[in-house]
Amino acid sequence: MKGTPVSDTKTFLITGVSTGLGRALAHAASAAGHRVVGTVRTPADARAFEALAGNTHARILDVTDHDAVDTAVDETERDLGPVDVLVANAGYGHEGLFEESSMDDLRRQFEVNVYGTVAVIKAVLPHMRERRSGHIIAVTSMGGLVTMPGLSFYHGSKFAVEGILETLGKEVAGLGIHVTAVEPGSFRTDWSGRSMTRAPRVIADYDELFEPLRARRIHGRGTQPGDPDKAAAAVLRIVAADQPPTHLLLGTDALRLVQAGRDAFERNMQAWADLSASTDFDDAGRPA
């Protein structure tokens, strides 16, 4: 990949660069000549990240430690310069049927995927607002727009981030800040491996529905259609765009499944439209 002209060089802050899409994006941005600050969880991962060719800087960070998030962002701004692009990527998947998953499972899923993402955005946003420039990107999922059995807590966390991002984008649109939700489909990453926790199975009533789904997720690793390097290239394209999208689906499976979900919602809405409309006051402002 050719280096980016100096005038186009940006400072990226990417959370969760040890594996998956975060790692692929960090590699691509660094190879393109950008400065990349990446967050990791261990000293070994930090050393491995900083060994990459290019201008890379590791920060050991747990995104659920909100004070540490603020410190990491402030230190980056002070020591390395303005963060031009934030990619809130850190997160994990919880697989488990609703009835078999605990409240602790739900709490942890939201602490990382929602509160951790929001904490990083809140730490970066004041700096971008003061400069009237910046691009906030969060990696959500096609699972923030469409659902599948056995992922209710994960879907809940990603739907929450989708709503927060879309609202934030409207709030900062006049301040020179762009906001994009990146929604990958199935990619050849560790999402269904080490980046996923699985609730134990205890209720036989769900076996017929769920066991084939769990088996496909486990045994389908390494055969997913999505290429992380191509996803990284796509993200760099929207970073370079004058008017980046508010949503970017990644992968043909994401396009297909999200469209099917939207079509089903439209059919449901139209089927019950008369009942929905019946709940308004009449034209005179009195109950009908």
Catalytic residues: 154
Taking residue 218's Cβ as centre, other Cβ atoms within 10 Å add up to 13
Strand partners, 93: 196
As a whole number of angstroms, the distance between CA 12 and CA 34 comes to 7
As a whole number of angstroms, the distance between CA 224 and CA 279 comes to 45
Residues 6+ apart with CB under 8 A from 266: none
Backbone angles phi, psi at 105, to 5 degrees: -60, -45
CB 64 within 8 A of CB 112: yes
CB 159 within 8 A of CB 144: yes
Taking residue 42's Cβ as centre, other Cβ atoms within 10 Å add up to 10
As a whole number of angstroms, the distance between CA 123 and CA 111 comes to 16
Taking residue 200's Cβ as centre, other Cβ atoms within 10 Å add up to 7
3-state secondary structure of 24: helix
